[in-house]
Amino acid sequence: MPDFITLKLNSDFRRVYGRGKSCAGPVLVTYCLRNREGVCRFGITTSKKLGGAVQRNRCRRVIKEAAYHIAPLCAGGWDVVFVARVKTLHVKSTAVEREMKGQLKRLGVLEAASGKQQAASGRQFSGPGQKESV
């Protein structure tokens, strides 16, 4: 089970669209806004421009898979909405994940998490070829 919650309410989506920051790319558009929940919440939007139900569901699956891999890197306290674009139909989840990481870094969602994650791991490496010290 992923350690993030999905956005389901229309009011949550509208709040993120209205007040949040956005970053657009050829495969994906990302909107994000800080929340007071302390946990990362993700929402996915696919419009009818993408095609029928089968195509829209494929886009959702690809985005969900990429978000599943990125969720542990995200700092808590963000609402993130991903909007699929037509190119999402033709790419794999690894390409979507790469674009997602870049957009979330630009928006500041991953930047705060990377420092926390390194500090939380408590591992320090002495150098190449040497064992790690805990």
125, part of any domain:
no
pLDDT digits (tens, 9 = 90+) for 4-32: 689 999 999 999 999 999 999 999 999 99
Phi/psi at 125 (5° precision): -100, 135
SS3 25: coil
What global pTM score does this model have?
0.79
On the question of pLDDT at 117 being above 50, the answer is no
Q: What is the pLDDT of residue 3?
A: 56
Residue 124 lies in a domain: no
Q: Which domain holds residue 85?
A: 5-116
Q: Is residue 41 part of a domain?
A: yes
pLDDT at 111: 64
Tokens 């990362």 found at: 40
Q: How many domains does one find in the chain?
A: 1
The residue count for the chain = 134
Q: The domain that contains 104 carries what CATH number?
A: 3.30.230.10
Query: Is residue 73 included in any domain, yes or no?
Result: yes
**What tens digit of pLDDT does each residue of 54-106 get?**
999 999 999 999 999 998 888 888 999 999 999 999 999 999 999 999 999 99
Amino acid, single-letter form, for residue 90: H
User: Which residue in this structure is represented by tokens 């494929």?
Assistant: 58
Question: Which residues are CB-contacts of 13 (< 8 A; sequence separation ≥ 6)?
Answer: 7, 43, 45, 81
